[in-house]
Structure 1
Amino acid sequence: MTTPRLPIHDRMAELADPTRSRLLAALDRHELTVGELASALQLPQSTVSRHLRILADQGWIASRAEGASRWYRRQPQLDAGMLALWGLVRDAFAATPAALQDAARVDAVLAARRTVTQTFFATASAEWDALRAELFGVRADLLASLALLDPSLVVGDLGCGTGTLSAALAPHVSKVYAVDASPAMLATAAGRVATFDNVDVAEGTLEALPLGDHVLDVAVMMLVLHHVADPVRAFREVHRVLRPGGRLLLVDMRPHTHERYHETMGHVWLGFAAETLTTWLEDTGFVSVRYAPLPVDPAATGPALFTCTAIMMPAPALVMA
């Protein structure tokens, strides 16, 4: 009677070749290219490619393309039988001189990768900021940091202008209300955020916001307060639309002497000092006011900026309720 051949027999045959065991051991912890494997195992690339093809056909390894290269790794989702068999082979192979030498050479391959990066930065550090801006844009790091926001937040972009900030916030939060008093600005903003279904654009002034009570978790006033005729009234409105414990983020100009801004850009105020803002905010129900000057951009021609944050303190009636 013929003894049936079990699937495990085929699996054992696939790993019976020492070269395939060496390759799988190298790929067990690292993702490597054919060239890197050939270097680490000191084998011809044709030999490496042939055995990789067998391992890939049988589901032992996975690969992905990146540019002109193909990267290989051990299949992360081996079935239980394959995983158990590989564990036995790996444990028996791990302490052999060949395995120890392969591991050392794989480490050398990884060190060579780091050397390439370190060499680049050793010569490019002086130009890196400009190069990064050229490749990815000057706001890439700031835009990426918005992913730290709680995705459940409802944010008001108050004085949204052309909607740049609203568009940046929209992918990372639950809802954005973009409010501005200028129909021309709002038309541009509406076009910019048209692809987002979680942005509402509305016309209104900061002194009379077109929003209900306690609808916002965060209110942002980005370079708009210097246009507001009555900042205290605007802060009362922001307090009204924020939920208890909600936050205000204000960005504007520090005190300056550019008188021409009154005529050329319609500015009402020539910047704001920390003491003035703190008084206004505390008088309108905000606490934990924090004013911080921003670093000056050498390429900027306007006044220096600051950030000011504050927390909405509920009115006494709300506390009792």
Structure 2
Amino acid sequence: MMLALEIFRALADATRLRIMALIQTMELSVGELAQVLGQSQPRVSRHVKILCDAGLAERRKEGSWVFVALGERALVAPAMAAIDSWRSRESDHWAVADAARLAAVRADRAAAANAWFEANAGQWDAIRSLHIAESDVESVMRQILGDAPIATLIDIGTGTGRMLELFAPLAKSALGIDRSSEMLRLARAKLAERGLLNAELRQADLYALPMADGGADAAIIHHVLHFAQQPGAAIAEAARVLAPSGRLLIADFAPHEREEFRASEGHTRLGFSDEQILGWFAAAGLAPVRTETLGGGELTVKLWLGRKAGSPLKEAIAA
């Protein structure tokens, strides 16, 4: 009963209800929440603290930014279900206004990332090599995925097509997607040089992959997730296109404090912890299979492999 009282006290404020609705959509920094709500950062921080103290939200510090996300699912889900039900019974002008301003925040994030991609497309592979020897990462990725044939592979955020170079030869068909037309132009040139006729490239968004449910046997997200506005949503979309027993391999950075990467390299997130990635795996219906840590460079690189649940027949055969 005391927990319920604390939760209802925390929600007994219009601004805090708005914050809960916003972070239900995506993780936002305190500054972005202030921008959407039209309030000062100190005031928003006080509201966020009340929500965090009640367990309804949690703060994640990344460099000088603090991201706010929903709290523990078991605690938050009943409260959000009630709020959503009540909201559906009447129009809410604040929700309409907040949604419009949130769209502007998303557009700002996307514009900053796209501008960096277009400016640095020609140096993309070289920039990656500054962080850790890419050959070491690729070697472990090969070990993790193995040599077994793949029916359909999707490389999400393909950049200059390096992952397709490595893994398309194992696949019957391979698809690389990227939002940047300049990246895709470079990738097409590279794949043509390699004679990879089974690899296709498309301009698309990682949140809306151009593939039917269950259309891929393997998916790769290689050094892309730290640019994503909604990493959990990107993982969920990758899981959607995986067939039963399909695998998702993510390569990205462990948490770090290189704040300058936000401005100099367009990073939205300063790396990811195992807890974050495995939490998103669980939410997307992926079971963790393997985690690897590769140090030795300016940054530590992490590899996470998840597998989608298999069909009942496959599960029975495997048993």
Q: TM-score, normalised by structure 1?
A: 0.51
1:142 aligns with 2:139: yes
Cα deviation for residue 291 of structure 1 reads: 2.6
Which residue of 2 is the match for residue 190 of structure 1? 188
Pick 1 or 2: higher relative contact order, CA cutoff 8 A, min separation 6.
2
For 2:306, which of 281, 300, 310 is the aligned residue?
310
Secondary structure of 2:209's match?
coil
Indicate the residue corresponding to 1:156 in structure 2: 154
State whether residues 182 and 203 of structure 1, in contact with CA within 8 Å, keep that contact through their aligned partners in structure 2: yes
**Residue pair 1:150, 1:173 contacting (<8 A) in 2 also:** no
- Counterpart secondary structure, 1:288: strand
Show the counterpart of 1:237.
237
5 Å matches for 1:58-137? none
Q: CA deviation at 1:270?
A: 0.3
Corresponding residue of 1:173: 171
Q: Which residue of 2 aligns with 1:11?
A: none
The change in CA–CA distance for 1:262 and 1:248 in structure 2 (over 3 A counts) is same
Residue 186 of structure 1: SS of its match in structure 2?
A: helix
Q: 1:154 to 1:261 in 2, by over 3 A?
A: same
Question: Residues 151 and 204 from structure 1, CA distance in 2 versus in 1: closer, same or farther, beyond 3 angstroms?
Answer: same
Identity %: 29
How far has the Cα of 1:231 moved from its partner? 1.1
In 2: Cα distance, 1:212 partner to 1:144 partner: 25
> By how many angstroms is 1:168 displaced?
1.8
Q: Structure 1: which amino acid aligns with 2:248?
A: L
Instruction: Give the AA of the match of 1:173.
Output: A
Residues in 1 aligned to 2:311 and 2:233: alpha-carbon distance in whole angstroms: 16
Q: What RMSD over aligned residues (CA atoms) do the two structures have, in Å?
A: 2.8
| Structure 1 runs (4+) greater than 6 angstroms displaced | none
Q: Which residue of structure 2 aligns with residue 206 of structure 1?
A: 206
The answer to whether the 8 A contact 2:290-2:304 is kept is yes
Query: Cα distance 1:278–1:142, how it changes in 2: closer, same or farther (>3 A)?
Result: closer
Change (3 A) 1:281 1:178: same
Task: Kindly state the Cα deviation for residue 248 of structure 1 after the two structures are TM-superposed.
Answer: 0.6
Higher Cα Rg, which structure: 1
How many angstroms does 1:159 deviate by? 0.9
Cα distance change on mapping 1:170 and 1:143 into 2, 3 Å: farther
SS in 2 for 1:197: coil
Which structure 1 segments of 5+ residues have no match?
A: 1-136
SS at match of 1:153: strand
Give how far 1:266 is off.
0.8
String of CA shifts for 1:198-232, please: whole Å, max 9, x gaps: 00101112111111221111101110000111111
- Cα distance in 2 between the residues matched to 1:241 and 1:306: 23
Asked if structure 2 preserves the Cα contact closer than 8 Å seen for 1:149 and 1:173, the reply is no
Does 2:279 align with 1:254? no
Task: Give the distance between the partners of 2:287 and 2:244, measured in 1 at CA.
Answer: 11
1:289 shift after superposition: 4.7
Whether the 8 Å contact between 1:281 and 1:289 is mirrored in structure 2 is no
Distance in 1 (CA, whole Å) between partners of 2:134 and 2:276 is 32
Q: Is the 8 A contact 1:153 1:217 kept in 2?
A: yes
Segment of structure 1 superposing worse, 260-269 or 280-289? 280-289
Give the 5 Å matches for 1:290-305: 290-294=290-294, 296-297=295-296, 300=297, 302-305=298-301
Structure 2 counterpart of 1:229, which letter? Q
Superposed counterparts of 1:252-291, under 5 Å: 252-291=252-291
User: Aligned partners of 1:278, 1:288: CA distance in 2, in Å?
Assistant: 7
Q: Give, as a single letter, the amino acid of the residue that structure 2 aligns with 1:192.
A: K
After superposition, where does 1:217-236 map in structure 2 within 5 Å? 217-236=217-236
Given that residues 151 and 171 in structure 2 are in contact (C-alpha distance below 8 angstroms), is that contact kept between their aligned partners in structure 1?
yes
What displacement does 1:142 show? Answer: 3.2
Shift of 1:186: 0.8
- TM-score, length-normalised on structure 2? 0.51
Distance 1:281 1:144 in 2: 18
Distance change in 2, residues 1:242/1:144 (3 Å): closer
- CA shift at 1:288, angstroms? 2.7
What amino acid is the match of 2:303?
T
Distance (Å, rounded) in 2 between the aligned partners of 1:315 and 1:182 = 36
Residue 99 of structure 2 corresponds to which residue in structure 1? none
- Select between 280-289 and 239-248 the one with higher mean Cα deviation: 280-289
What is the distance in 1 between the residues matched to 2:173 and 2:191? 12
Shift of residue 175, structure 1, vs aligned partner: 1.4
1:261 positional shift: 0.6
